Amino acid sequence: MAEDRFPGWHGTTIIGVRKGGRVVVAGDGQVSLGQTVIKGTARKVRRLAPGGRDVVVGFAGSTADAFTLLERLEKKLEAAPGQLARACVELAKDWRTDKYLRNLEAMLIVTDGDALFVLTGAGDVLEPEHDIAAIGSGGNYALAAARALIDSDLDAEAIARKAMSIAAEICVYTNGNVTVESIAK
């Protein structure tokens, strides 16, 4: 079995929080191979600017696969400027049906400051409930923490940072080195 020979890259935590007219996407910096931390300062949250309109993307999974998907997303956004939902659906269709893309192992959180989506290789383009999306090995921990904080006086960035901190305390594949990108409607 391939996993016996190569344990695989594990984990990360990415969260997107929409509150008060802003969307914040935050991600940790840990890259693990099996039980070993390979890098603690990876940047898994990126700002794209296809056609002059900013889009923020966070990714979990294989880095090379995620970069392939980011390039494809940029092309879809250039073909459909200002139409994030359409670009995401087109990417998800390609991801699910293309023989090469179908094997990519990653998930994305994508926002333009208005819409917030989770994209998966199963062809999903999900709009999360409660204005919070989370992916990766620590995603459920971050999601639960953010859901508990969403009705507090904290802004979107403070909620995302606190949720990431809680996830890092629980998930061994998540660290406290957080990258944050914020975007307004």
Contact present, 89 and 125 (Cβ < 8 Å):
yes
- pLDDT tens sequence across 69-82: 999 999 999 999 88
Please give the pLDDT value at position 5.
42
Question: How far apart, in Å, are the Cα atoms of 181 and each of 45, 46, 48?
Answer: 7, 7, 11
Q: Set out the domains of the chain in order of their start, with CATH numbers.
A: 2-174 (3.60.20.10)
Q: Is 13 annotated as a binding residue?
A: no
- pLDDT tens sequence across 144-153: 999 999 999 9
Q: Is 179 annotated as a binding residue?
A: no
Q: Is 85 annotated as a binding residue?
A: no
Please give the pLDDT value at position 52.
67
Q: How far is CA 15 from the centre of its chain?
A: 6
Question: How far apart, in Å, are the Cα atoms of 93 and each of 80, 98, 100?
Answer: 15, 8, 13
Distance CA 149, CA 157 (A): 11
Query: What residues act catalytically?
Result: 12
Distance CA 61, CA 26 (A): 15
Q: Give the length of the chain.
A: 185
Please give the pLDDT value at position 51.
67
Distance CA 148, CA 17 (A): 12
Please give the pLDDT value at position 112.
96
φ, ψ for residue 25 (rounded to 5)? -115, 125
